[in-house]
Amino acid sequence: MQIFRYLFAAVSVLFVAGVVFQVFLAGMFLFAGGEQTTHIDFGYTLELVPVLALLLVWPARAGRRLGWMSAALVVVVIVQVSLPYFKAELPIVAALHPVNALLVLWLSVRVAQEAVALARKPIVQAAPERAPAAIGQES
Amino acid sequence: MSSGDRLTGYARLAFVATARVFVVCLVIQLFLVGLDVFGVIGTENGIHREFAYAYGWLAPLLVLLAGVSQAPRRQVQLAAMLLVLFAVQTYLPSLAKELPLLAAIHSVNALAVFWLALTLARAPSRPVEPSNSSGGT
C-alpha cells in the first residue's frame, strides 16, 4: 500500500511541475514567439495527470479530505481546459482562464503537500486480536 | 496596553489587510491579462501594465508594515522577497526583444509573486508574541 502513497505523491508533485511549465509555455507564446499549439497540446496532456492522482486516492488510502481535494482539482482543471472555448461567444468568461490557473496552482500545491506528508507517514496496520489463551499465559 | 503595543497591533492589521488587497489586485491583474489575450480589450490600451503600476506601491508598503508591526523574521523576509520579485516582474516584459526566453518567465514569476502574497495574506492579524518573533511562522 505504501507504494501507492509514493505514486500518489509523485503524480501530485509532477502535476505542480507541469502547471509551472505550462505557465512558462504561455509566457513563451506571449513574449518569445512560441507556438500557441504547444501550450494547448501540453494542456491536454497535463489534464490527465490529476485524473491519475484521483485514481490513486483509494489504493493509497489517502482519506476522504484528500479525495475530495483531488476530485476538486480534476473539476478545476476541466474548467481550465474548457474556458478558452468561450472565446467566440463569451470572451469575458474565456478571460477567466489565467485567473482559474491560480486556482489550479493553489489546489495542486495543497494536494501535493498533503500527498507528500501522507507518503512520509507509514500505514498503521490493524493489530490482530489476541486469543484468550495467549492473554492468560501473559498473566 | 501601551501606545507602542497599540501601534504594533494596528500595523499588524494594516499588514495583513494590505497583503489581502495585494492578492485581490493580483487576481484582477490576471483577469486583465485574460481580457487582453482573449481579445476583449486590446493590448494598445496597456491596462494590464498601468494597473500593475497603480497597486505596485503596496509591495514596499508591505515591507514597511512588516517592520513596524514587528512581524516574525520569516514574514519580513517574505515581504522583502515579494518586493524584489514584483520589481523583477515589471522589468521582465521589457526584455522581450533582446532576451525573449527571460521575458517568458514573466508569467512564471507571476505565480511566485501570487504565492508569496497569498502566504503573507494568510498570516495571523494579531501581533505575534515576542518569543515567536525570531523564528518562523
Is the CB of residue A108 less than 8 Å from the CB of residue A12? yes
ipTM of the complex: 0.82
CB contact under 8 A, A32 and B93: no
- Render pLDDT for B47-99 as a digit per residue (tens, 0 to 9): 888 899 999 999 999 999 999 998 899 999 999 999 999 999 999 999 989 99
- Render pLDDT for B106-134 as a digit per residue (tens, 0 to 9): 999 999 999 999 999 998 877 656 554 44
Within-domain flag for A94? yes
| Domains identified in chain A, total number | 1
In order, the DSSP letters of chain A are: -HHHHHHHHHHHHHHHHHHHHHHHHHHHHHHS---HHHHHHHHHHHTHHHHHHHHHHTTTT-HHHHHHHHHHHHHHHHHHHHGGGGTTT-HHHHTTHHHHHHHHHHHHHHHHHHHHHHHHSPPPPPPPPPPHHHHHHH-
Distance from C-alpha of A19 to C-alpha of A113, rounded to nearest angstrom? 15
Of A31, A96, A98, the CB nearest to B106: A31
The pLDDT assigned to A34 comes to 84
Within-domain flag for A128? no
User: If phi over 0 gives left and psi between -120 and 50 gives alpha, with beta otherwise, what is residue A63?
Assistant: left
CB contact under 8 A, B37 and A95: yes
Range of the domain at A100: 2-121
- Render pLDDT for A33-57 as a digit per residue (tens, 0 to 9): 888 899 999 999 999 999 999 999 9
Enumerate the domain spans of chain B.
Answer: 3-125
CA nearest A36 in B: which residue? B37
* pLDDT at residue B105 is higher than 50: yes
The pLDDT assigned to B9 comes to 87
Residues A116-128: what's their mean pLDDT?
Answer: 76
Distance from C-alpha of A105 to C-alpha of A110, rounded to nearest angstrom? 9
**Whole-model pTM?**
0.84
